[in-house]
Structure 1
Amino acid sequence: MQAEIIEPAVRACLAEIHGKLKAAEQIARAARACAEAGGVAEAIQVSMDIEQLIYEACRLHDAATLLARMPHDVKA
């Protein structure tokens, strides 16, 4: 594939990863606040949404690394 296709796609994947991890961080902060306030069960419930975000970030990372490994001179 050509670099003008691959590089923007990798940048888009990385931007999405950043967004998902920022959302996961916000959830983790809320869960931590619940736990510190004594609501451990509520904290666990709040934190359950983190798993999907991390899963999606991992798959996006897989896509970005796969794209980055593709030869830049292959014609599609």
Structure 2
Amino acid sequence: MKSEIVEPTIKACLAEIHAKLKAAEQVAKAAHACAEAGGVTEAVRVSMDIEQLVYEAGRLHDAAPLPARMERD
């Protein structure tokens, strides 16, 4: 893979990881607010959205170093 493609690709992956984790943070804050207001059941329901965001961030994290590895080969 050409080096002019590798760096922007890795940066894009890292930016997307950041966006996913920020979204997960917002969901966690909303769930916490629900729980603090006495809506524990609602808090758990809201918090379920965190799982997909963290999963996607994890897969992006797995993929981020791949372009650099391909460049070396």
Structure 1 position 42, deviation (Å): 0.4
Where does 1:7-22 land on structure 2 (aligned, <5 Å)? 7-22=7-22
| Correspondence for 2:31 | 31
Structure 1 position 67, deviation (Å): 2.3
| Correspondence for 2:65 | 65
Q: Which amino acid aligns with 1:59?
A: R
Structure 2 residue runs without a partner (length 5+): none
| Correspondence for 2:41 | 41
Query: Alignment length, in residue pairs?
Result: 73
Q: Which amino acid aligns with 1:7?
A: E
Calculate the aligned-residue CA RMSD, in Å: 1.2
Instruction: Give me the identity figure in percent.
Output: 73
TM-score (norm 1): 0.87
TM-score (norm 2): 0.91
- Say if 2:6 and 2:71, in contact at 8 Å, map to a contact too: no
